[in-house]
Amino acid sequence: MTTLLVKNIGLLQTPVGSFSHGGAAQGENLKLQDAAILIEDGVIKEITSGGEIPAGGENADTIIDAEGHLVTPGLVEGHTHMVFGGYRQHEIPMKLKGAGYLDILRAGGGILDTVRKTRAASFQELYDKTEGFLDEMMGLGVTTCEAKSGYGLDFDTEVKMLEVLKKLNEDHPMDVVSTFMGAHAIPEEYKDIEGGADAFIDLLCRDLLPYVKEHQLADFADVFTEDSVFNYAQSKKYLEKAKELGFGLKVHADEIEAIGGSELSGEMGAVSCEHLIAINEKGLASMASNGVTAMCLPATSFYLGADFAPARRMIELGIPVAVASDFNPGSCPSLNLQFVMNLACIKYRMLPEEVLTAVTINPACAIGKGSLVGTLEVGKQGDLVIWDAPDMDMLCYRFGSNLALQVIKKGMLV
């Protein structure tokens, strides 16, 4: 048995419960002063407050003094595209001269540029690069993350990306949840032929979705429902097949144009719908009445110079809000979830308590990990962060610095 005690916690702040928190519950956090937490074999055994120490805590194998700092659950990153070849810094001058995100994609650049580089990269190159990203994320306080495929758009490369993630989930302390996103763009081979998008969706439904399921390479399936990418009907066909096979569903919707993706997420019973910059009332109503979590990505809005998703309105409607980085080489080349928290506060006008829920239990539930991580409660994984901050206000206020002092994953200092 291995034990770890964190004592002298000035403030322990955490959402409570293994469910998505919407409406008023989004802002409800438990706050314990002068707290301590005992972790046994990676699982939380006891939490105390008021200066009390858990029974047997003083004999723990490792004792960490939090020196009066804030402790929260380890952050949960709910949306990334972190496996990719190359980078796309050459798009910066193109954008500054006026090219839009979809203009670059339509001209065969954007996602398709990354697809060429990802197809050319070996398993080992992708593994090493992604491992570096996981290390960096963990240093910033993230202890569980989601990652999508979607830069292969052919059988072998999609499988290669998912195998990289599967191996990293085994090898790296980070818990990595994989999402199959074969429907991320129309590949070059199909782009200029009539009916190409339909034919590609058919291929994904016939070959890739069943293979990914059979080999347990992903728990979720995601589709980019967007003008010039996949329309409502194509997205629905893909999601229906994914649902039939037992995948949890996610939708990239209303990032640039609202073409029905968020309505579709509600109709299909998706666990989450992501981006939502351009969401309209119909989409909001569909998500609210079907319990779909809104995965909002404010650093993408920042980087694209776009509007910010109406997160406050979503909270008013009772939609559980998660915020994530969307880390990818095109629309968000940053994996810093602390910066995302600052943006959620300043640009979405979310309160610090609401922000904490949005980077812990809500994304945990949206990636199927709500019963294991996302809160500090007895029986859950011992994943936590000791912050160079006395409270959440400080975390939402200081931006651009890394305030994570110590990150603990399953009771181990990482």
Return residues touching ligand NIG (CB under 6 A).
Answer: 81, 110-111, 114, 224, 252, 255, 300, 326, 328-331
Shortest approach of Fe ion to residue 91 CB, angstroms? 16
Q: Which is nearer to Fe ion, 163 or 326 (CB)?
A: 326
Place of tokens 């979405």: 348
Phi, psi of 75 (to 5 degrees): -70, 150
- E strands of 88-241, at which residues? 142-148, 175-183, 220-225
Q: Which does 130 bind (CB under 5 to 8 A by kind): ligand NIG, Fe ion, none?
A: none
- Distance of closest approach, residue 48 Cβ to Fe ion, in angstroms: 40
Which of the 8 DSSP states describes residue 292? P
| Residue number with CB closer to Fe ion (175 or 326) | 326
Query: Smallest gap, in angstroms, from Cβ of residue 319 to ligand NIG?
Result: 19
Query: 316: which 2 tokens?
Result: 């008013």
Give me the least distance between CB of 388 and ligand NIG, in Å please.
31
Comparison of 331 and 338: residue with beta carbon closer to ligand NIG: 331
Based on C-alpha coordinates, what's the Rg of the chain?
21
Residue with tokens 């999402």: 179
Select the residue whose beta carbon is closest to Fe ion and give its number: 326
Distance in Å, CB of 79 to Fe ion, minimum: 6
Residue (82 or 408) nearer to Fe ion, CB: 82
Query: Please, which residue, 70 or 82, has the CB nearer to ligand NIG?
Result: 82
What is the nearest approach in angstroms of Fe ion to the Cβ of residue 309? 13
Selection from Fe ion, ligand NIG, none that 14 binds (CB < 5 to 8 A by kind) is: none
Q: First CA to last CA across the chain, in angstroms?
A: 19
Helix (H) or strand (E) holding 98: none
Q: How far is CA 61 from CA 1, 37, 38, 56, 68, in A?
A: 9, 13, 11, 10, 21
Residue 229 — φ and ψ, nearest 5°? -120, -110
- Contact positions vs Fe ion (CB under 5 A): 326
Give whichever of 91 and 383 is closer to ligand NIG, judged by the CB atom. Answer: 91
Token pair of 224, please?
Answer: 């980019």
72 binds, among ligand NIG, Fe ion, none (CB under 5 to 8 A by kind): none
How far is 244 from 241, CA to CA, in rounded Å?
A: 5
Residue nearest to ligand NIG (CB): 330
255 binds, among ligand NIG, Fe ion, none (CB under 5 to 8 A by kind): ligand NIG
The DSSP 8-state label assigned to residue 242 in this structure reads H
Please tell me what DSSP assigns to residue 58: G
* 293-296 β-sheet, strand order: 75-77, 142-148, 175-183, 220-225, 248-253, 272-275, 293-296, 321-323
Given Fe ion, ligand NIG, none, residue 114, with its beta carbon under 5 to 8 Å by kind, binds ligand NIG
By a kind-dependent CB cut-off of 5 to 8 A, residue 57 interacts, out of ligand NIG, Fe ion, none, with none
Q: How far is the CB of 356 from Fe ion (least distance, A)?
A: 22
In terms of CB distance, is 11 or 324 closer to ligand NIG?
Answer: 324
Helices (H), 107-154: 111-120, 123-139
